Amino acid sequence: MTISMHAASAPVLKRSLTALAAILDKAAAHCAACNITESAMLQARLFPDMFAFAKQVQVAADFAKSGVARLAGVEPPRFEDTEQTFAELKARVEKTIAYIETFTPGQIDGSEDRQVSYMMGKYPIDMKGQAYLLGFILPNFFFHYTTAYNLLRHNGVAVGKGDFIGRG
């Protein structure tokens, strides 16, 4: 049995983004209950040379929307990185989910051998769709999503594995 490119991308990313939106609500509630400024949590880092929490969320959302778009052969929209609250980050995540939901299986399925080529900063990305999804989009998305989760957990937000995995 084979799995389709759509099934391996859009629903997987949507589920994790939905979980991330719920985690952002828990983080906001934690900050309010513990009298922690949101800006302090949004700027939290695991190490000085790593992105802050807010940037981890932004980048995870970007990998999700851009990955699905490029698999469909569409240029992804650009979202400005202006979020400064949990509510604004949640709105970005929800906008990303809404964008992913615009793609049908017919737009993504069959993209295994579609060439995906673009510049990521000064680095060229040039690979077939399946390698792009499995070796680039999903690992990068989950790296940034996991780092965001870990930053919250490290800073006392009561989240666990069920929060990370989300509800089907």
CATH of the domain at 136: 1.20.120.450
- Name the token pair of 7: 């099934």
Residue 168 resides in a domain: no
Residue 103 resides in a domain: yes
CB contact at 8 A, 115 and 105: no
Residue 139 resides in a domain: yes
What's the domain range around 76? Answer: 21-163
pLDDT attached to residue 168: 64
* Weakly modelled stretches of the chain, pLDDT under 50: none
Residue 37 resides in a domain: yes
pLDDT attached to residue 88: 98
Distance CA 146, CA 158 (A): 15
Residue 101 resides in a domain: yes
Domains contained in the chain, number:
1
pLDDT attached to residue 167: 79
Residue 2 resides in a domain: no
pLDDT attached to residue 120: 86
pLDDT attached to residue 1: 64
Residue 54 resides in a domain: yes
Residue 95 resides in a domain: yes
